[in-house]
Structure 1
Amino acid sequence: MKLGLGWKLYGDGSAPPPGEVVKPQERLSWGRTTGLGAQHVVAMFGATFVFPIIMGLDPNLAIMMSGFCTILFLLIVKGRVPSYLGTSAAFVGAAVIISPNGENPAVLTGAILVAGVVLALCGLAIHLLGPVVVLKAFPPPVTGAVVMLIGFNLAPVVATVYWPVDQWIGLLTMAFVVLATVLLKGFLGRITILLGLVFGFLMSWVFDLVFGMHQVVQDDGTVASAMRVDLSGVADASWIGLPALHAPEFQTSAILVALPAVIALIAENAGHVKAVQEMTKEDLDPYMGRAILADGVATALSSSLGGSPTTTYAENIGVMAATRVYSTAAYYVAAIVAILFGFCPKFGALVAATPSGVLGGITVVLYGMIGLLGAKIWVESRVDFANPLVLVPIAAGLVAGIGNVELAFTESFVINGIALGTIITLVGYHLLNALAPAELKPKPLPMSAYDTPSYDTPEDSTRT
């Protein structure tokens, strides 16, 4: 079986001329390929380690597993779909519910593992039945609603967890990210979250020098003074070592909270395949099921060791769009570099030292962008909200999901928030459409509804 490990040299190995592209099975010279791999590392870097911090997971392990998972993905798709698998934001909402403040990481990774297995099974079904099954099961009205509530359900986390710790650092970091997103062009415009993290770190250090310690509310409700930047853990960490691993635990209630993310990941992977297909002019529909299967297997593998969930990254599509080089060889280089970073505990300690105020400024932008991606799906798919069969179930699901409405069956079994909102939207939409007369049913959309290349925005998450 061909695994896509052999690459034909493109021309003389130099960059393609205007109008030409380097296809996935081709490569430039190894020197240029290594340089492109480094660009892919930088592009995925910010979100890949920011999201594990938000979810209470080890960022070092997330970086390392992103490398292994990218290699696994490329092998499963036989090198036909170039993609980097970084940390997914689709599970951030579930993480806040399952493991607040990182209290239950094993239960969280157990729920993510099951979701990964379900995603892999969906990918297998799509591979056997054809990509049209994606739109039938998860039409754009439903997918957009689920993505939106995943993002907007997180608004209280910003307001109550991160922002109050250091509101001025949060405000400055947020302002920097917003301005950088608009003013910076090209490659820098795609890594504004990473730049915002660096900026927030520097401003926190300046505030420590100018204003000294600030007041922090402890978990027990008491108030203590602390520096914004504490690098003592970095000094104590070794240069070489394994990241922290842990075994997953499984709880039914946690699994139900995590499962809605599968819908977002299916839509995201489908969109990634269609975007790359449009840019390379190659028929990749036969590989859509493989791509979704590969992402599911990768997520299950990563979470089985205590790592973060994975997804295809739009930032890396941006690198490909800018360079017109779609060679999977560059992704293998990026994956190997990420694996090497994972074996450096000092790097992980530096990431873990990110001030909470900085995370407040970053998350207020990221969570909103995740939510608005749902609206983006609606707009580009021309969803008709004048039709009550579309409007009513989505309206009910959004309020239930964003408002954290609860449905308690027993004291220990409660469905709420994202899980309940997804169930109401998905079941309500399909049930109403099954019962409604033909003239009221929305017209089916072509697969082009998922042709939504999102590489023109800096941290377009794909992190869903």
Structure 2
Amino acid sequence: MNDAVLDVKDRPSTGQWISLSLQHMFAMFGATILVPKLVGLSPAIALLTSGIATLIFVLVTQGKVPAYLGSSFAFILPIQLATEYGGLGSAMVGAVFVSFAYAIVSLLIWKTGYRWIMKLLPPIVVGPVIIVIGLALSGTAVDMAMNVDGEYSLLHFSAALVTLITAIICTIYFNNIISLMPILIGIAVGYIYSAVIGIVDFTVVQEANWLAVPDFLIPGVDYEIKVTFNLLLIMVPIVIVTISEHIGHQLVLGRVVGRNFIKDPGLHRSLLGDGLGTLISGLVGGPPKTTYGENIGVLAITRVYSIYVIIGAAVFAILFAFLGKVMALIETIPTAVLGGISILLFGIIASSGLRMLVDSNIDFGDQRNLIISSVVLVIGIGGAALEFTESFRVEGMALAAMIGALLNLILPGRPDYEELPDEIK
């Protein structure tokens, strides 16, 4: 039994429904709009598709899993690489194929069970790849924080530092809902500071309409559909990381709510919901989706697990996407502010990979573990590449993930992984 104020199927009162749903929306808001800002996509579309993806997830999981889906940070670098390769349209095509990979894995789990995926993607593979995701983006974060048009700016760097310090304070010195929204609060305070020192241009806000349709990217209309091996190898291998992240979130969420979501409604359903959300997002110009730890944190603090609250948050996100003034305000956020919050976020991503290794009691006295992690880190951070033809190139994070999984399969001494977590036995 859990100690829920409202359990999964409980319906809140109207007042509770509105306030708790808004709380969930703001918990994910900062991170969800940050990803499209970093990769050149529309924040309005990212917000819209997060709401739609969450509703799809709720439907596919039969209303049993109170999880919210937002923009995935794991795909920031792959989207940037895919965009350099063939424009934003290529990144969206890649996102669609990522959703196909989710569907294939979901089908396999449905037919064969879930234990094989746990053995294929152990922490010694996933942990170092997560570290690569964070550290590979570190140069981008620092450049955004310090430089304007390639020139160092102390004024802009001060805005980045104010943003960073605010987010740190919210995380460390608060133990309530504020600690779950450090990104949003950090960006807000950094934005206010930026406005005071005069580096914010409000022209676009003044010109924007109160209501506006988001900027969709429709395949075959806004870009030419072109699929190559190079594009697929940039985007698809990252599912090695995001599927592992998904499993981790389902385990944590299960502990919070007091249910075994791996068994009921099943890992195949939750992964399929994640994949379908990513599919719809990619088809209209949004980033790939993932379940959000921020919202799991809100559930843990409030002990309100009602699926109706999650549905309400999704509806609010969809409505906010059509508020032209709000979206225009987001467009005016200085790059330095985004850089300041990215320093913390990308560092946390890298540290979460390290934490996975520590929590999993990975023994680095074991030469096998040392070799796998070392190779993954250097190949991923160093930007190594295998180029077979101009249209067939595997590099960086994708190459690191693939080599890590391969090394785990072929090196002698692989553990049997019989001791799976209690939640999934």
TM-score exceeds 0.5: yes
SS for the counterpart of 2:73 is: coil
Partner residue in 2 for 1:80: 64
Q: Give, in whole Å, the separation in 1 of the partners of 2:262 and 2:286.
A: 30
From the two aligned structures, give the one with the greater helix fraction: 2
> Are the equivalent residues in 1 in contact too, given 2:130–2:349 (CA < 8 A)?
yes
Partner of 1:46: 30
Partner of 1:241: 212
Matching residue of 1:126: 109
User: Structure 1 residue 21: deviation in Å?
Assistant: 4.5
Counterpart code for 2:295: N
Q: Secondary structure at the match of 2:365?
A: coil
| Structure 2 residue aligned with 1:414 | 393
Match for residue 419 of structure 2? 446
State which drifts further: 20-29 or 261-270.
20-29
1:136 aligns with 2:119: yes
Tell me the residue number matched to 2:142: 159
Aligned counterpart, 1:168: 158
Q: Could you tell me which residue of structure 2 aligns to residue 114 of structure 1?
A: 97
Indicate the RMSD between aligned Cα atoms, in angstroms. Answer: 2.1
| 1:241 CA displacement | 2.4
Q: In the alignment, which of 313, 336, 349 is matched to residue 292 of structure 2?
A: 313
Matched ranges for 1:133-282 at <5 A: 133-165=116-148, 166-208=156-198, 228-248=199-219, 249=225, 250-282=227-259
For normalisation by structure 2, the TM-score amounts to 0.91
State yes or no: 1:357 paired with 2:336.
Answer: yes
* Structure 2: unaligned runs, 5 residues or longer: 149-155, 220-224
Which string of whole-angstrom CA distances, capped at 9 and with x for unpartnered residues, describes residues 282-316 of structure 1?
Answer: 23222222111110111011111111211111111
Equivalent position amino acid for 1:77 in 2: T
Aligned to 2:362: 383
Query: Retained in 2: the 8 A contact 1:270–1:450?
Result: no
Contact 1:394/1:429, CA 8 A, preserved across alignment: no
Aligned residue in 1 for 2:153: none
Q: Output the amino acid matched with 1:206.
A: V
- What is the letter of the counterpart of residue 374 of structure 2? A
Per-residue displacement from partner, 1:73-104 (whole Å, max 9, x unpaired)?
0000001111111111110121232225x982
Q: Secondary structure in 2 aligned to 1:244? A: coil
8 Å Cα contact 1:33/1:329 also seen in 2: yes
**8 Å contact from structure 1 (residues 170, 362) kept in 2:** yes
What is the number of equivalent residue pairs in this alignment?
409
Structure 1 distance, partners of 2:145, 2:79, is 15
| Separation (CA, whole Å) in 1 of partners of 2:165 and 2:261 | 40
TM-superposed CA distance for 1:244, in Å, is: 0.6
SS at match of 2:70: strand
Structure 1, residues 317-354: CA drift from partner, whole Å, max 9, x if none?
11111111111011111111111111122222111111
Instruction: Give the letter for the 1:278 counterpart.
Output: R
Query: 1:390 Cα shift?
Result: 1.9
- Which residue number in structure 1 is paired with residue 307 of structure 2? 328
Equivalences for residues 415-430 of structure 1 within 5 A: 415-430=394-409
Taking the aligned partners of 1:129 and 1:359, their CA distance within structure 2 comes to: 43
**AA aligned opposite 1:343:** F
Identical positions, percent? 33
Shift of 1:160: 3.4
Instruction: Give the secondary-structure state (helix, strand or coil) at the position aligned to 1:27.
Output: coil
Shift of 1:410: 2.4
Kindly state the Cα deviation for residue 276 of structure 1 after the two structures are TM-superposed. 2.2
Cα distance between partner residues in 2 of 1:134 and 1:21: 34
Aligned pair partner of 2:375 in 396, 400, 413: 396
Q: For residue 115 of structure 1, report the CA deviation from its aligned partner.
A: 0.9
Runs (4+) off by over 4 Å: none
The 8 Å contact of residues 124 and 290 in structure 1, kept in 2 or not, is answered as: no
Paired AA for residue 15 in structure 2: G
> Contact 1:60–1:347 at 8 Å: present in 2 too?
no
What is the rounded CA distance, in whole Å, between the counterparts of 1:447 and 1:330 in structure 2? 32
